[in-house]
Amino acid sequence: MVRKVWLYILQRRADDVALLVFEHVNVDAGIQIPAGTVEPDEDLQAAARRELFEEAGVEVDSLTPLEVVERHWHGQDVQAHLFAAWEPANARDEWIHHVTGKGEDEGMVFRYFWLPRTEWSQLWGDFKLGYPALNSFIADLATEQI
């Protein structure tokens, strides 16, 4: 079983929230979220932080585990650990990032932007599986603020 981390980074908006997403600059691979493979013996939180920094150049204060999704994907069993976080204080509206690290994405170029919740249906493939847990995370926060 291959362990993965999927990162749902949220931005507060006056009327709702937006999700940090990216598109490949030179390849049509759909709209995606930062995600990646957990290294052997790597802590899940550490893996999530590493992947977020390598793929987006972003660091967050805290990550909240959402759920674990198991799927058979491209001939392998995958266990995806989903995390949510709020945007860092210095987040830009849009940016280009050259992926770092030693993984298969190293050197790729991603264009990051914030996708309003009304457009989340555009997210590619299995990344949509996190929506129910993500919506609960957002609703829980709203309840805490009342």
Q: What is the pTM of this model?
A: 0.91
Residue 112: other Cβ atoms inside 10 A: 21
Instruction: Tell me the CATH number for domain 2-145.
Output: 3.90.79.10
How many angstroms separate the CA atoms of 146 and 143, rounded?
5
Instruction: Identify whether the C-beta of residue 74 lies closer than 8 Å to the C-beta of residue 39.
Output: no
Query: Where are the strands (E) in 13-105, listed by range?
Result: 17-24, 35-37, 64-73, 76-86, 94-98
Listed range (1-5, 77-81, 124-128) with the worst mean pLDDT: 124-128
Enumerate the domain spans of the chain.
2-145
| Mean pLDDT for the stretch of residues 21-45 | 93
Per-range mean pLDDT, top range of 24-33, 46-55, 90-99: 46-55
User: What pLDDT band is residue 41 in, cutting at 50, 70 and 90?
Assistant: very high
Per-residue pLDDT, 42: 96
With H, G, I as helix, E, B as strand and everything else as coil, classify residue 120: helix
Residue 39: other Cβ atoms inside 10 A: 13
Asked whether the predicted pLDDT for residue 5 surpasses 90, the reply is yes
Radius of gyration of the chain (CA): 15
Q: HSE (CB half, 13 Å, CA atoms) of 138?
A: 18
Per-residue pLDDT, 88: 87
